[in-house]
Amino acid sequence: MIAAGAWSHRLARMLGDRLPLETERGYNTTFPQASFDLRTHLTFPAHGFVVTRIGEGLRVGGAVELGGLDLPPDYRRAAILVKKAAEFLPGFDPQGGTQWMGFRPSVPDSLPVIGRAKRADRVIYAFGHGHLGLTQSAGTAELVAALADGGVPEIALERFRPDRF
Ligand SMILES: Cc1cc2nc3c(=O)[nH]c(=O)nc-3n(C[C@H](O)[C@H](O)[C@H](O)COP(=O)(O)OP(=O)(O)OC[C@H]3O[C@@H](n4cnc5c(N)ncnc54)[C@H](O)[C@@H]3O)c2cc1C
């Protein structure tokens, strides 16, 4: 199985499949101690960031950067999100956070790639979940398990076929 997130197309290429996988890079900053009592997840859609409770702390995240797999992170993007959060949330202390950049594995139609390699049908692909890979991971695992067992997946996999592009 190839489930290597944003790196998966490089492996699929070795099997003769050219898949239009890109990475939408995202950034966040995690503050170990919440500086105010956040009771729910906050989304600021017009400004492209969210604020979430993480254990005792807070996370400010968002951004989409088309920078590929090799460009170094540009943490100014994380800093911009924190600055915006501080403008909206007067009780928020923007000091002492840890910055992070991650790779969302995205394809043009925003549907994952789930199915067998064209020239090696023992190989199953499961990648390309974009912004929703955590949410969709359990469902994808069930589909892939059914494929690997030679069973019938609970939903049709036509829309997710690797050769749809
Ligand atoms: C800032 C940000 C916020 C996000 N927020 C959410 C959210 O709120 N909800 C949500 O559902 N999703 C969210 N996502 C998206 C989610 O993180 C991804 O969709 C998900 O991580 C994809 O899972 P994956 O297992 O396919 O890839 P990854 O999590 O990237 O895992 C792939 C793994 O494969 C490994 N690998 C690569 N090449 C090889 C190789 N040759 N051999 C062996 N291993 C290899 C990598 O090291 C990596 O560990 C967010 C992403 C970002 C960046």
- Ligand 1 geometric centre to CA of 87 (Å): 30
Cβ of residue 105 lying under 6 Å from some atom of ligand 1: yes
CA of 154 from ligand 1 middle (Å) equals 24
Average pLDDT of span 72-89? 97
Between CA 53 and CA 92 the distance in angstroms is: 12
**Average pLDDT across the chain, whole number:** 96
pLDDT at 15: 97
Residue 52 Cα, ligand 1 centroid: separation in angstroms? 19
SS (H, E, C) the chain: CECCHHHHHHHHHHCCCCCCCEEEEEEEEEECCCCCCCCCCEEEHHHCEEEEEECCEEEEEEEEECCCCCCCCCCHHHHHHHHHHHHHCCCCCCCCCEEEEEEEEECCCCCCEEEECCCCCCCEEEECCHHHHHHHHHHHHHHHHHHHCCCCCCCCCHHHCHHHC
Quick one: what percent of the chain has pLDDT higher than 70?
100
pLDDT of residue 148: 96
Question: Whose structure tokens read 């600055």?
Answer: 83
Rounded distance, CA 156 to CA 119, Å? 21
Q: Is the CB of 7 under 6 A from ligand 1?
A: yes
Residues 6+ apart with CB under 8 A from 52: 38, 41, 42, 58, 59, 61
CB of 53 closer than 6 angstroms to any ligand 1 atom? no
pLDDT band at 28 (very low <50, low <70, confident <90, very high): very high
The residue-averaged pLDDT of 89-96 equals 94
pLDDT band at 115 (very low <50, low <70, confident <90, very high): very high
